[in-house]
Structure 1
Amino acid sequence: MNLNQNITENVRTALAEDVGAGDLTAQLVPADARAQARVISREMAVLCGQAWFTETFKQAAPSATVEWHAVEGDVMQVNQTIVTITGNARELLTAERTALNFLQLLSGTASTVKQYADALKGTKTKIVDSRKTIPGLRLAQKYAVTVGGGHNHRLALYDGILIKENHIATAGGIAPALAQAQAVKDAATDNPFAADAFVMVEVETLVQLTESLAAGAKLILLDNMSHDMIREAVAINMTFNNGEADLEVSGNVSLDNVRSYADLGVDRISSGSLTKHVRAVDYSMRMSRI
């Protein structure tokens, strides 16, 4: 499913959840009443989710017009009018909450990511997301990460191989797991993503790091390592093909410490908090009858 299809399905599911058999409260308004609504930002935030917002009105208020006054990725200022919607009052009322839910959530994700991306400016390190997303909204949140200036890790289990401790233990070690990874990719002829799937090894010790590099690993995740261990890991990596492998840091990453990890010389830093610990942006919709 591509992003546009996903947007349509996200909105359809959300409206079915919220509206169900019909919006009882909207019926307090005359059926032929028309209104204009404005969405206002109550705080500084990165605008994200325009397509989901517009699609909500397309489905719930098909006769409405949506006029944006900002561009996706813009930083909204306090009390800035973001978008104006004009149409049947009942339909606008029915669409309001679902539309705002998407806009607030995705803007919250993008705004958080921008803080991390800004903290890494001047370094080679990229901030990367994870699969720790809200169920049903993975593509939406992955999209919001890119709007905020971040990068996507694997989308799902079908388009990347991450060899973790349990895989290593049951496959018989790091080298056998890496060898099997290529065999799995070659055999997955019914999976169109398999050929381009990356292979990454997660390590918890410097011994495992050395084993991974010796086995030819090109992507290595340093899990919950101290700054001293990461510094040494970068040095060890340089002894194997002049640091050809990309090193990624994960675990206990926060806005307070993300720059300190980047300064150690790693290539990527991943954090589930980008999409898991999201605070919705405070957007408000105000309507008036016309």
Structure 2
Amino acid sequence: MTYLPDVVLEPIVRLALAEDLGRAGDVTTLATIDPDLEVQWVLRARSAGILAGLDAASLTLRLIDPSATLMPRLPEGAVLAAGDVIATLSGKAQSLLMAERVMLNFLGPLSGIASLTARFVEAVKGTNAKITCTRKTTPGLRALQKKAVRLGGGSNHRFGLDDAILIKDNHVSAAGGIIRALTRAKAYGGHLLPIEVEVDSLQQLEEALPFAPTCIMLDNFSLEDLKAAVVRVAGAVTLEASGGVTLSTVGEIAATGVDYISVGALTHSAPCTDLGLDEG
């Protein structure tokens, strides 16, 4: 998913604009800037990274003023160096000033997610492991944040509770164990509904395997146990490693042979990429 239609973007962008403009609009700009003043500015990277959020930024400007233009010079997913010009913006100064902060509030954090994802992807280069995100997203921004992960070279886990059955440790506990939880899940799900189950030991892995789930999540496994699980499964089931994964540990985890590594930090802890608007 590297494209979001306006029908998905517009409610998110409108909410952000309504939050920023409040009841009276941008009173500073209205008070100080000639309404007929036309300007041309550039969107510039002030730090390195991967570009994401340009679609939301462009829609932000269009909703403020349909006559204003944002002309990209770089596509989303582009590798940025400090000083790179990302886009040229033209229109009334009032319009650009009103849209500026909301545009940057999309671009900076989303580019940060794409940039952090790219670092994780680079750290597992040479292995078969894929980096994937989680549902640990900012409420209302999940579609944008998961798109940013894809732009950084990662893959997407489920988008919501309705995508797949994902039996976590609390489900296992409440259901009365792995076997009971998977028995009920198999009876509930249709042939197109994936089933993943989280296990926290090799013993639980053995309990899960006879049910042939779509994927088994190996939660907080040691490197030794990850290797043992990969050997035991021998490709029969997709294996996902999770739990406290960092840039310093992800390479060793990938080297165990797991198929996916889920990283919550991609969306909940990515530092913002520094971008800004300058005079053209």
Does the alignment pair 1:272 with 2:264?
A: yes
> What is the distance in 2 between the residues matched to 1:73 and 1:54?
15
TM-score by length of 1: 0.91
Q: Which residue does the alignment assign to 1:254?
A: 246
Tell me how far apart the structure 2 counterparts of residues 236 and 182 of structure 1 sit (CA, whole Å): 22
Within the candidate set 143, 151, 154, 1:147 is matched to 151
The answer on 1:212 being equivalent to 2:232 is no
Amino acid at match of 1:287: E
Q: Which of the numbers 12, 25, 28 marks the counterpart of 1:25?
A: 28
Structure 2: state its 5+ residue gaps. none
Could you tell me how far 1:3 is from its partner in structure 2? Answer: 3.2
Alignment of 1:66-215 (within 5 A): 66-186=70-190, 196-215=192-211
SS at match of 2:189: helix
CA shift for structure 1 position 125: 0.5
Cα deviation for residue 252 of structure 1 reads 1.3
Contact 2:194 2:214 in 1 (8 A): no
Q: Which whole-Å CA distance do the structure 2 matches of 1:3 and 1:183 have between them?
A: 34
1:273 partner letter: A
Aligned CA RMSD, in angstroms, stands at: 1.4
Give the Å deviation of 1:286: 1.5
Query: Which residue of the partner structure matches residue 221 of structure 1?
Result: 217
Letter in 1 for 2:164: G
SS of 2:136's equivalent in the other structure is coil
1:218 & 1:49 partners in 2: Cα distance? 32
Contact 2:70/2:88, CA 8 A, preserved across alignment: yes
Distance 1:101 1:184 in 2: 42
Q: For residues 74-127 of structure 1, what are the alpha-carbon distances to aligned partners after superposition, in whole Å with 9 as ceiling and x for unaligned?
A: 101111111111101111100000011111111110001011111112111100
TM-superposed deviation, 1:196: 3.3
Choose from 8, 12, 15 the match for 2:14. Answer: 12
Match of 2:236 in 1: 244
**Counterparts of 2:27 and 2:133, CA distance in 1:** 40
Structure 1 residue 44: Cα displacement: 1.1
Q: Which runs of 4+ in 1 moved over 4 A?
A: none
Q: 2:196 & 2:218 partners in 1: Cα distance?
A: 11
Contact 1:218 1:244 in 2 (8 A): no
Identity of aligned residues (%): 42
The amino acid across from 1:220 in the alignment is: I
Distance in 2 separating the partners of 1:196 and 1:116: 31
Contact 1:159 1:196 survives alignment (8 Å): no
Q: Deviations over 1:209-255 (max 9, x none)?
A: 111112323310010111111111112213xxxx3111110011011
**Structure 2 length-normalised TM:** 0.95
